[in-house]
Amino acid sequence: NAEYFEVIEIDLNEIKEPLLACPNDPDDVRPLSEIAGEQIDEVFIGS
């Protein structure tokens, strides 16, 4: 019975490719196509 301050709805059909948050700045989000070919040493999946 929790009361929410705000509900955010995201239409997943509008997301054309996966998005990744780049190191050191969670606001630095880029589409996968921009990161392709880069070495990835560590991954965190979550929110």
Q: Which residue has the higher pLDDT, 42 or 47?
A: 42
pLDDT in the model for residue 19:
86
**pLDDT of 11-45, one tens digit each?**
989 988 988 888 888 899 999 999 999 998 888 88
Contact 28, 14 (CB under 8 A): no
pLDDT bin (cut points 50, 70, 90) of residue 47 is: low
Contact 22, 30 (CB under 8 A): yes
CB crowding 1-33: b at 16 or more within 10 Å, else e: eeeeeeeeeeeeeeeeeeebeeeeeeeeeeeee
Give strand ranges (E) for 1-47. Answer: 19-21, 29-31
Overall pTM surpassing 0.85 (yes/no):
no
Element (H, E) at 32: helix 32-35
